[in-house]
Amino acid sequence: MFIIFFLRWLRGHIRFSARSGSIERFINLCAYHHIPSWECRRSDGTFSGCTTVSGYRRMHRLARKAGVVTRVTERYGLPFLIHRYRKRLGILIGVLFFALFLTVMQQFIWVIRVEGNEQIDSRILTNALADLGVHRGSFKGRIDAGVLREELVIRVDGLAWAALNIRGTTATLLVRERVRPPEKIDTDVPANVVAARDGQIKRLEVTDGRSLLRVGDTVREGEIIVSGVNEDRWGMTHLVRANARVIAHIPESLKIEVPLVQEEYVLTGEIKKRRYLELFGVRLPLFLYRGLEGDYKLERITRSPKLFGLELPFLITRENYLFYETRLEEISPESALRIAERALRRQETENWGDTILSADRSAEVVDGVLCLTGRYLIEQDIARQVEIPVFDKQEQKKTSHKREGGY
């Protein structure tokens, strides 16, 4: 599309309008003589569109046969630009250099995007692309998408598939992450079930092993609940991988503090704007530098400007500095309590969800700070498997064979 538009611009074209006479015959004559036209419209007895300069000359002769009056409404392209600025060569040369600059810059990559990743950080992928020669300013003709796809899958751990799509000056990396298989547990390794937390056992479901505690017992963190060491009726010891589900009641607590005197940020209405041009990795200011005094919040917006629907090979960054003043505001204990309650409930949901059995909340003001304390009883599975260290008999034999005498 850009090439077609550029060629039309080089040759020059015009927008015309035709009215009166037989418009249908005029259109048929133009089509019969293969006169190029585009963006054609017809409304209220007027036919308009675009054509080349030579096409309009031929069209003008055909219009007489159909009794149609044609008129040039607009002129576009390099020939008309040269004619308009024929006495200002500096402007013309600048336009030509700018067009040449855009044409050359379209052969390089200036924007890199990553899509499809969830677990893998985008910076890891862009760094891997840079190691393979794909970065801002890379020449598109040197990029081999097939080789790059294979190298990315090898270099980046957890990547199952990758593809690089280049459109204009933008390179989009599409990835698909590898689905990691669940961690395999060696069931042949003996283990005990110990308590992951302090609590009181309320339900005990043992599938393997020998239970050492009962429902209602209090257990400490790290204490063995189900043993993986069993003895048969002949006194022989057998090691198994104990497995159990241990539901216990666990006491928990949270504390939220809200000062009654808080800092409030009030915008003054003063805004300073700065713009930067980023080209070839260099950031160029588009303003006269002046220092910033006072407190401010920074808003940064970076975009790639477009010309005729195509991204230009540079970035424009706009920074807005919003100045504010800091004021001390005293709030009532009731307002502080509402703030603390919202924060406390948010933490309760994040930490324990719907496992809370009971909750007791109390608030007090100490030294100008409202303290909201929550005490809870939650229900969780505290079972945790801990492998039993076993001395390898084969290793024992190897060690005994190395002895050549003595004890």
The CATH T-level fold of domain 2-83 is Alpha-Beta Plaits (3.30.70)
Q: What confidence score (pLDDT) does residue 391 get?
A: 58
Q: What confidence score (pLDDT) does residue 361 get?
A: 92
pLDDT tens for each residue of 118-146: 888 888 888 888 888 888 778 888 888 88
Q: What confidence score (pLDDT) does residue 26 get?
A: 84
Retrieve residue 387's tokens.
Answer: 């492998």
Retrieve residue 24's tokens.
Answer: 């249908």
Q: Which helix (H) or strand (E) holds 342?
A: helix 333-352
Q: What confidence score (pLDDT) does residue 192 get?
A: 92
Q: What confidence score (pLDDT) does residue 25 get?
A: 87
Indicate the DSSP class of residue 139: B
Q: How far apart are CA 100 and CA 325, in angstroms?
A: 50
Instruction: Identify the CA nearest to 174 among candidates 138, 107, 139, 129.
Output: 129
- Mean pLDDT across the stretch 3-26? 82
Q: What confidence score (pLDDT) does residue 310 get?
A: 63
Tally the C-alpha atoms within 13 A of residue 287's C-alpha that lie toward its C-beta: 12
- Mean pLDDT score of the chain, rounded to an integer? 83
Inform me whether the pLDDT recorded for 392 exceeds 70.
no
Could you tell me where the beta strands, DSSP code E, fall in 68-198?
69-76, 111-115, 159-167, 170-177, 191-195
347 CB-near residues (< 8 Å, 6+ apart): 254, 256
Retrieve residue 293's tokens.
Answer: 């005094």
Q: How far apart are CA 196 and CA 385, in angstroms?
A: 9
Percentage of the chain exceeding pLDDT 90:
25
Q: What confidence score (pLDDT) does residue 398 get?
A: 44
- What's the full length of the chain, in residues? 407
Helix (H/G/I), strand (E/B), else coil: 170 = strand
pLDDT tens for each residue of 235-256: 788 888 899 999 999 999 999 9
Q: What confidence score (pLDDT) does residue 406 get?
A: 36
Q: How far apart are CA 76 and CA 83, in angstroms?
A: 11
Inform me whether the pLDDT recorded for 395 exceeds 60.
no
Report yes or no: 134 and 147 within 8 Å, Cβ to Cβ.
no
Contacts 24+ apart (CB under 8 A), 158-167: 158/119, 158/120, 159/120, 164/129, 164/134, 166/109, 166/140
Inform me whether the pLDDT recorded for 399 exceeds 50.
no
Q: Does domain 111-177 have CATH number 3.10.20?
A: yes
pLDDT tens for each residue of 175-222: 888 877 666 666 678 999 999 999 999 999 999 888 999 999 999 999
pTM for the structure as a whole: 0.49
Buried b (16+ CB within 10 A) or exposed e, 34-72: ebebeeeeeeeeebbbbbbeebbebbeebbeebebebee
Helix (H/G/I), strand (E/B), else coil: 45 = coil
Q: What confidence score (pLDDT) does residue 359 get?
A: 92
Q: How far apart are CA 126 and CA 133, in angstroms?
A: 10
DSSP state letters, 80-112: HHHHHTTT-HHHHHHHHHHHHHHHHHTTB--EE
CA 221 to chain centroid, in Å, comes to 41
Could you report how far apart the first and last alpha carbons of the chain are, in Å? Answer: 91
Helix (H/G/I), strand (E/B), else coil: 354 = coil
Inform me whether the pLDDT recorded for 394 exceeds 90.
no
Domain ranges, ordered by start, for the chain: 2-83, 111-177, 191-249, 261-330
Report yes or no: 317 and 278 within 8 Å, Cβ to Cβ.
yes
Q: What confidence score (pLDDT) does residue 308 get?
A: 62
Inform me whether the pLDDT recorded for 407 exceeds 50.
no
Ranges 111-120, 124-133, 170-179, 305-314: which has the least confidence? 305-314
Angle between helix 23-32 and helix 53-66 axes, rounded to 10 deg: 130
